[in-house]
């Protein structure tokens, strides 16, 4: 259960079992043959789920969680490579870094109801993971009603599914993948940069994420629509010409808006949340 406290915005205890529900759904769908049996025999998949469960239960220190993710990333890189050079060693190191970043990026956007699951529904459609649509939609309805939270186990599993080359239609080129996942990538990189700029520990959590600011300024429904649109836009431009230029321009505009709000909003809460 996720209990309300000074760091949480919900008012009632909420079961933190979305990841468990998703895990069981994947196993069942795999066993009855609706999806490939790959996950059932994928050791990395089980490891990342276990790390998420442990973090949900014990709230692991960020450095311990980071080390564990890197170790799983090393195992993952043996059969899944992000191609940036013709050198196997460099590509494998890049894959481990990418694996660790995307795990935390997805976890980071699980800060308000409906965000992670709605964004994941968009990725399901564009990565060919259509079997995920129904489970995610059901979980989204419960999440919006504050009946269930995904937890780190859910966020980690979703990111693992979407970057798994053997299951999805993603390209293997790093630049295109970064822009494809442009919204969660924005959140994790902008969090790091803004904390440095305001002289905070870049690994310490805060409540200055875009989803906190946006939902406060525009309300949750409007912000979710904006976030979904932004996610869809990044997906669509990822394969276009000048994709990096477009992405960086959008990134800069949002970052300036976010930083300006942080520096001038006196009433912005300064409590920590539970994410990286």
pLDDT of residue 143: 96
Maximum separation of any 2 CA atoms in the chain, in Å? 55
Inform me whether the pLDDT recorded for 219 exceeds 90. yes
Residue 89: its pLDDT value, please?
93
205 — pLDDT class (breaks 50, 70, 90): confident
Residue 3 pLDDT > 80:
no
- pLDDT band per the 50, 70, 90 thresholds, residue 169: confident
Q: Stretch 36-44: mean pLDDT, rounded?
A: 80
Of the ranges 38-42, 138-142, 180-184, 249-253, which one carries the lowest mean pLDDT score? 38-42
Q: Pick the closest to residue 274 from 207, 198, 202 (CA basis).
A: 207
pLDDT score recorded for residue 40? 79
Mean pLDDT of the chain: 88
Cα separation of 132 and 246, whole Å? Answer: 30
Greater confidence, 1 or 217?
217
- Whole-angstrom distance, CA of residue 110 vs CA of residue 274: 10
Q: Are 68 and 52 in contact (CB under 8 A)?
A: no
Percent of the chain's residues with pLDDT above 90: 64
Confidence of residue 270 (pLDDT cuts 50, 70, 90): very low
Can you give the pLDDT at residue 233? 97
């Amino acid at each position: 259960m996720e209990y309300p406290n000074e760091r949480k915005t919900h008012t009632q205890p909420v079961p933190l079992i979305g990841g468990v529900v998703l895990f069981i759904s994947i196993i069942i769908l795999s066993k009855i043959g609706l999806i490939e049996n790959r996950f059932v025999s994928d050791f990395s998949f089980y490891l990342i789920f276990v790390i998420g469960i442990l973090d949900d239960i014990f709230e692991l220190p960020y450095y311990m969680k980071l080390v564990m993710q890197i170790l799983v990333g090393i195992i993952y890189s043996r059969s899944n490579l992000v191609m940036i050079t013709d050198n196997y060693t460099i590509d494998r190191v890049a894959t481990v870094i990418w694996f660790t970043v995307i795990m935390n990026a997805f976890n980071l956007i699980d800060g308000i109801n409906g965000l992670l699951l709605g964004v994941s529904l968009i990725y399901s459609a564009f990565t060919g993971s259509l079997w995920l649509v129904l489970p995610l939609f059901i979980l989204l309805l419960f999440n919006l009603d504050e009946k269930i939270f995904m937890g780190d186990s859910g966020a980690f599993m979703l990111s693992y599914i979407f970057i798994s080359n053997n299951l999805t239609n993603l390209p293997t080129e790093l630049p295109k993948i970064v822009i494809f996942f442009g919204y969660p990538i924005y959140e994790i990189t902008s969090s790091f940069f803004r904390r440095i700029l305001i002289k905070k520990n870049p690994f310490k959590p805060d409540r200055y994420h875009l989803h906190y600011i946006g939902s406060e300024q525009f309300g949750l429904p409007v912000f979710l629509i904006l976030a979904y649109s932004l996610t869809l836009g990044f997906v669509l431009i990822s394969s276009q010409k000048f994709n990096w230029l477009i992405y960086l321009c959008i990134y800069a505009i949002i970052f300036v808006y976010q930083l300006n709000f942080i520096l001038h909003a006196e009433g912005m809460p300064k409590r920590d949340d539970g994410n990286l």
